[in-house]
């Protein structure tokens, strides 16, 4: 593989991390401060959205594995078809609808769609890691194992950088929505009842209303998303391995899922990954909220987020 192909492959892994990082750090505070839905409903949106992504993973993998080879590969058609819908669903995740009573259903719908589409179009570990298997034949992977290692390392590095870029872009753009006078329209007392009964709208006193600021950030990250997928499509070519084993015996979906869940090491790995990712996501969701409302650091939270992520990216990945 050429250096250009390796770099394009690595860049293709960044967009999902850019969007995922922005949502992980800022979606909860957006739902609470800008959309003004209750904390219970905000938690419900985040939980059901993540759960829907987990359910979509095996289903998407089953259908993708049944896909036929095309002129542009087996995985590329899925990515190209789903990316526009992924960008649209991401944009509407940050859109403030004009109605109040159905906002929870609005954000729940588009967050679940975003989680499902990112799975189908590559873009979680399952799909993007699978692309590695289609860049080289089995013979090439055996004769040049260092190439596969470099591909995985570059992909991991770009995903980490994507996490940093997503949080930095989102934080710098939406910081003005939380710096000053962002709560002046809220009633000063009995805020819990007010959240349930009389949701208030963002204060449009500034040159740009808070909802518009979030939509601008969503548009910028959506553009990054499209750019990354275009680079991946233009720079990466899948290869059909003629020596790959083809089984004539098809395994039904439910039976295959049952066999997978009976494999002890896989179950242990999945459970450990679930616990670790849950802890990380809880930290991401609550950190900005804590800095803004508990620590009174709303003027600096975007820099704190970037500082934490930079310290993570300083770790070696090669």
In a domain, 271, yes or no: no
Tell me what the mean pLDDT of segment 244-266 comes to. 74
- Give the model's pLDDT for residue 318: 45
Coarse DSSP helix, strand, coil percentages of the chain, rounded to the nearest 5 percent: 70, 0, 25
Residue 284 lies in a domain: no
Q: Is residue 265 part of a domain?
A: no
Output the domain CATH number for residue 148. 1.20.1250.20
Range of the domain at 173: 3-180+207-240
Top-confidence residue, 284 or 112: 112
CA 76, CA 273: separation in Å to the nearest integer?
A: 27
Would residue 125 count as lying in a domain?
yes
- Tell me, yes or no, whether 14 lies in a domain: yes
Residue 288 lies in a domain: no
User: Own/partner pairs for 219-224, CB < 8 Å, 24+ apart?
Assistant: 219/91, 220/169, 220/173, 221/18, 221/19, 221/22, 221/90, 221/166, 221/169, 221/170, 222/19, 222/87, 222/90, 222/91, 224/14, 224/15, 224/18, 224/165, 224/169
Q: Are 56 and 115 in contact (CB under 8 A)?
A: yes
- Please enumerate, as own/partner, the contacts of 44-49 that have beta carbons within 8 Å and a separation of 24 or more: 44/104, 44/108, 45/104, 45/107, 45/108, 45/111, 46/111, 46/285, 48/108, 48/111, 48/112, 49/108, 49/111, 49/112, 49/114, 49/115
Any residues with CB less than 8 A from the CB of 198 and at least 6 apart, and which?
187
Q: pLDDT tens digits for 48-92? A: 888 887 777 777 777 777 778 778 877 788 888 888 898 999 999
Between CA 217 and CA 92 the distance in angstroms is 12
Q: What is the mean pLDDT of residues 122-146?
A: 48
Asked whether the predicted pLDDT for residue 101 surpasses 50, the reply is yes
Average pLDDT value for residue range 215-223: 91
Is 298 within the bounds of a domain?
no
Number of domains in the chain: 1
Q: What is the per-residue pLDDT across 140-177, written as a single tens digit (0 to 9) for each?
A: 444 444 555 566 666 667 777 777 888 888 888 887 77
Is residue 175 a contact partner of residue 138, using CB atoms and an 8 Å limit? no
Reported confidence tier of residue 287, pLDDT bands at 50, 70, 90: confident
- Asked if 141 and 148 count as a contact pair (C-beta separation under 8 A), the reply is yes
């Amino acid at each position: 593989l050429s250096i250009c192909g390796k770099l394009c492959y690595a860049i293709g892994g960044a967009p999902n991390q850019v969007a995922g990082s922005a949502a992980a750090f800022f979606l909860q505070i957006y739902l609470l401060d800008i959309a003004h839905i209750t904390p219970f409903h905000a938690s419900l949106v985040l939980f059901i959205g993540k759960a829907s992504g987990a359910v979509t993973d095996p289903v998407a993998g089953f259908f993708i594995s049944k896909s036929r080879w095309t002129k542009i590969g087996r995985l590329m058609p899925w990515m190209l078809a789903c990316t526009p819908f992924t960008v649209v669903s991401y944009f509407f995740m940050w859109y403030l609808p004009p109605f109040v009573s159905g906002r929870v259903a609005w954000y729940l719908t588009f967050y679940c769609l975003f989680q499902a589409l990112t799975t189908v179009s590559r873009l979680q570990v399952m799909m993007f890691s699978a692309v590695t298997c289609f860049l080289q034949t089995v013979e090439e992977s055996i004769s040049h194992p260092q190439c596969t290692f470099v591909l995985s390392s570059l992909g991991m590095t770009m995903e980490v950088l994507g996490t940093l870029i997503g949080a930095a872009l989102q934080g710098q753009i939406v910081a003005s929505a939380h710096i000053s006078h962002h709560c002046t329209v809220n009633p000063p007392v009995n805020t819990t009842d007010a959240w349930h009964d009389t949701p208030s709208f963002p204060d449009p006193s500034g040159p740009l209303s808070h909802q518009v600021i979030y939509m601008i950030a969503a548009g910028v990250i959506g553009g990054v998303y499209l750019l990354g997928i275009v680079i991946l499509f233009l720079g990466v070519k899948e290869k059909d391995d003629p020596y790959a084993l083809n089984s004539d015996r098809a395994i039904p979906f439910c039976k295959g899922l049952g066999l997978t869940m009976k494999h002890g090491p896989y179950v242990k790995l999945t459970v450990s990954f679930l616990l670790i990712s849950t802890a990380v996501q809880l930290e991401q969701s609550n950190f900005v909220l804590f800095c803004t409302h508990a620590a009174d650091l709303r003027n600096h939270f975007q820099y704190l987020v970037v500082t934490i992520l930079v310290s993570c990216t300083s770790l070696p990945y090669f």
